[in-house]
């Protein structure tokens, strides 16, 4: 017996929502097929991702779920990567999300959304070095998510239907532990007034999603804490941001841990113009641009 699930790419942080906000994107999808075997965990993939279960996000999820739910049989994991790794679009999370949803179905566990997110989050240890739930929550549940921890509780809001995104991915060689590296440059302490500014923008983003107001979402994508500390890791970032805003984007920030840069706009904007402007900003390195929309969550296919 085998079960296949598909999970979307995602963007984490959305500026001021560091480690808290996530948004599922319909740009790319990972497809994971689980099959029962006699024993052990085996990973098959034609992409250049680690195939050892303890180094692969999908492998870690299966290891964890097998133990947690006392599943005795072995599992083969076939991963068809759609989300390119290292883009900052939740590639490792998409594999983990699809795996958790497929495992739940295969062994008839009927887990709650929070339980699925908890299981998928374990996988992120393979790529980020620590458990964080923003990308996996978006990838499991779809739409816009707010992650609360201690205890884990994920709130989902369906995005406005006119929200449009443009992601520019510079052709940079990213280090294998890119997320760990980009977490390392963030200040350990912040001053209160910066925290107030970011909090006000984060609150406005949530209001924008609740009110289905894409303009409010886009204009609130402003982060004065993490973005300034990380932008030196992305050559051309400030030009890309300036160009996108000039071309009409409402807000621009780093997608997750980078190096991709994401612009927020609405259906009324000229997305091709924004895409071209972002490309021009990355003329030094060259880049791919992806125009996309919010996505639904992981599902059995």
Which residues bind to ligand ADP, rule: CB under 6 A?
49-50, 56-58, 79, 85-93, 95, 126-128, 176, 178-179, 256
**Smallest distance, Å, CB 217 to ligand ADP?**
21
**Smallest distance, Å, CB 154 to ligand ADP?**
18
State which residue has the least CB distance to ligand ADP.
127
- What gap in Å lies between CA 198 and CA 284, rounded to an integer? 31
285 is known as an active-site residue: no
- Rg, the chain, Cα only: 19
**Smallest distance, Å, CB 279 to ligand ADP?**
20
Catalytic site residue from 11, 179, 253, 266: 179
Q: Kindly tell me which of 206 and 292 has the beta carbon lying closer to ligand ADP.
A: 292
37 is known as an active-site residue: no
Q: Kindly tell me which of 142 and 256 has the beta carbon lying closer to ligand ADP.
A: 256
**Smallest distance, Å, CB 93 to ligand ADP?**
6
Tell me the longest C-alpha to C-alpha distance in the chain: 58
Catalytic site residue from 57, 124, 174, 253: 124
DSSP state of 14: T
What sign does the dihedral 57-297-87-242 (CA atoms) show?
A: negative
**Smallest distance, Å, CB 199 to ligand ADP?**
25
Q: Kindly tell me which of 48 and 189 has the beta carbon lying closer to ligand ADP.
A: 48
Task: Give the relative orientation of helices 57-68 and 113-123 as an angle to the nearest 10 degrees.
Answer: 130
Q: Kindly tell me which of 162 and 180 has the beta carbon lying closer to ligand ADP.
A: 180
Alpha-carbon distances, residue 276 vs 22, 59, 84, 168, 291 (angstroms): 25, 38, 21, 10, 11
Alpha-carbon distances, residue 67 vs 40, 72, 99, 122 (angstroms): 12, 8, 15, 13
Q: Kindly tell me which of 128 and 261 has the beta carbon lying closer to ligand ADP.
A: 128
| Burial track 214-229 (b if 16+ CB lie within 10 A, e otherwise) | bbbbbbbbbbbbbbee
Q: Which residue numbers are catalytic?
A: 124, 179
């Amino acid at each position: 017996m085998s079960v296949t699930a598909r999970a979307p790419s995602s963007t984490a942080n959305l500026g001021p929502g560091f480690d808290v906000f996530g948004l599922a994107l319909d740009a790319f999808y990972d497809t994971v097929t689980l099959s029962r075997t006699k024993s052990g965990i085996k990973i098959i993939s034609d992409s250049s991702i680690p195939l050892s279960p303890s180094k692969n996000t999908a492998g870690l999820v299966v290891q964890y779920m097998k133990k947690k739910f006392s599943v005795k049989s072995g599992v083969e994991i076939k991963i068809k990567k759609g989300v390119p790794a290292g883009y900052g679009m939740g590639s490792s999370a998409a594999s983990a999300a699809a795996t958790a949803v497929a495992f739940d179905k295969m062994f008839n566990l009927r887990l709650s959304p929070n339980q699925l997110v908890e299981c998928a989050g374990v996988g992120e240890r393979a790529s980020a070095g620590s458990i964080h739930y923003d990308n996996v929550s978006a990838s499991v549940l779809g739409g816009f998510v707010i992650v609360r921890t201690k205890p884990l509780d994920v709130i989902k809001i369906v995005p406005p239907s006119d929200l449009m995104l443009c992601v520019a991915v510079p052709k940079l060689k990213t280090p294998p532990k890119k997320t760990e590296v980009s977490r390392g440059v963030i200040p350990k302490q912040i001053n209160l007034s910066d925290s107030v500014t970011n909090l006000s923008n984060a609150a406005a983003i949530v209001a924008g999603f609740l009110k289905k107001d894409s303009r409010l979402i886009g204009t609130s994508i402003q982060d004065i804490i993490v973005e300034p500390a990380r932008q030196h890791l992305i050559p051309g970032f400030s030009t890309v941001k300036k160009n996108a805003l000039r071309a009409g984007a409402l807000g621009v920030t780093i997608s997750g841990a980078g190096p991709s840069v994401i612009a927020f706009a609405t259906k009324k904007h000229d997305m091709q113009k924004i895409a071209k402007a972002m490309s021009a900003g990355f003329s030094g390195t060259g880049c791919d641009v992806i125009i996309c929309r919010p996505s639904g969550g992981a599902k059995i296919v």
